Structure 1
């Protein structure tokens, strides 16, 4: 035991990176500190990075052209390095256990508040995007559905968004989400199944890989970069995963393996999807798949399972944060049910108001993911470490510049696209 404590408190070399899970920052999934093995941590890391982003990378590549794929690898390397910076910030003080703790250690209470706001806004919008994803894919499977309610006609996509929200609502009321946590671990398998299904449709069900596509599209570059950034927004939960490791010296290896495997998967999906459908790609590749094919059915139904399994887990930290604002009532079950129901209702309203999955995820990637995964780790590390001018400082400043460009141009483009679609609809 003494050797373990010494290892965990050592300051780690710059070459050591790390990785963790995006979807549930402050959720207790019954993982005790120091008990998670190397392979368990790898699985959790893969589960964190792989997600609904894999559905949008072909559209991202179609938006920016073949050369934009280079930016996927640049963002992946930058995110890997900033993951290391998160770990190094934690090594400074063993009391740092969460992402907001890092913000507090660097910039005091203001830093903690700002980091928390970015963290929960990111989660809230990702979950809202999952409702839109469910509505899109169910409407694609059952395009003729229309619901009449109190004399009001509700179209199929809107109906499915409301129905899915009602289905997941009881799970949001639960306090013990350990069962759902284990279900959500199937995200890694689900992402792999989706990838294989898409390849199967292209190779054996008549689609083929013959579209040439465009080499470079400058006007679509902000969208492409924003969606690529959305795929690497796991940093807010790196701290609990790192803390849970039995042998923390292996964390750098975990990080490299997880980022390498996930980036390879994203690249394969982007390339094959673009070869299959070219500029006709929808915001989710599942919307392009021919509905009558077996491989398409497997991919679409697997896509539907992922958000349903993880919705409550992803929403819990946001709900707990809101409940803490009302200390007198936060332990009352009836209060929790009402507050969490209202929270889900607000997400339904947002999903119905901005039903453009690709544009919304582009906005989240540009504004929130870039801030949470690139800007915050760099700024906090510079403040905590007091790094002097040198190679490391130049590298960190370059990543900061990249994040600022993504935030400015990506957010501007995404907002214009969303407003344009709202005006046309």
Structure 2
């Protein structure tokens, strides 16, 4: 017995079974069904043709040029860094050579004075003569060596690997922190407990404060270098690709520069002493914030010499009753952690690095328990952000539009956290450091 057409409003018997959807249809509805499929194919064909025309309009060379500009800027920055480093070492060579020469001249004058004094003295002992002869002989040997070779200059080869620049497809997918991944670290480093738990990283290495030491780890989490930190307490750290150095802000109003390879530390005297709290670097600038309610933001140009460029004060930096806890740079923007007066609401704001105009603002479910309790943030993939609140041991994942995606209370209680590269979350607990691979 024939079945009715599958269309509910149709009273006719079905005439055939549609092979594409396996439904019984009458002649009229089968034609209508086929017409809809045909129209769908026509629409798909039109969409394909439109996409084909759009592809023809793509200026591939322009897209390549935009990215090549980044490479050109990187090359120019490297040239500037090398030129500044070369001039610095030339000055050091000149100063060291002059000091060496003057030291030898002074020693020769002292020997001459001693000989003249003995010559005028009627009594002279053999041991005095022998001593002067040995001193003059040693000095001659040193001067001859200086004449032949001058000052020894040892140059390490310039290292550049294929990981310095990566070329890859842009990925539109969102980035997610998996709650399950945070329950157990992939690796843990034990250390002496201390109140300092700062770190900064680039694509190659991460610098971590472990008690009274600075420890540099590579991408394999292998300890490359360790150096004691004999100076005052560290408030914040950041990495400068332009200077190829880590920048450190301390509690005694000082800013230091740390060599990535040797961990040699030098104070940056081009920055005046202020109550600094936080720091961050873009390719061209260093940004510093003051340790006060009604925070100021200072912008310093990095090359050819570190010098002040701009200062933002309340109400442009923040409101007079607010304070900035953290500042982080990413792709011509600045992320600011801003808190209202004691016990007030804490916001994360994304600003333009050029104008400090607000792009978005998000209030966080945080009530700070102390005037300067630790609140950190770092950038994630795809222009997203991670906020770290030590007092509540919570991680806040925020998307590129300024919307809250994920909140996780980390156990055991954390001191600080940051990202190392695109997929390693580093959690500092004080007595140990956890590393979590996120992908």
Verify same fold: TM over 0.5: no
Higher strand share: 2
Give TM class, smaller chain: under 0.3
Rg larger in structure: 2
Q: Scaled by the length of structure 1, what TM-score is found? A: 0.20
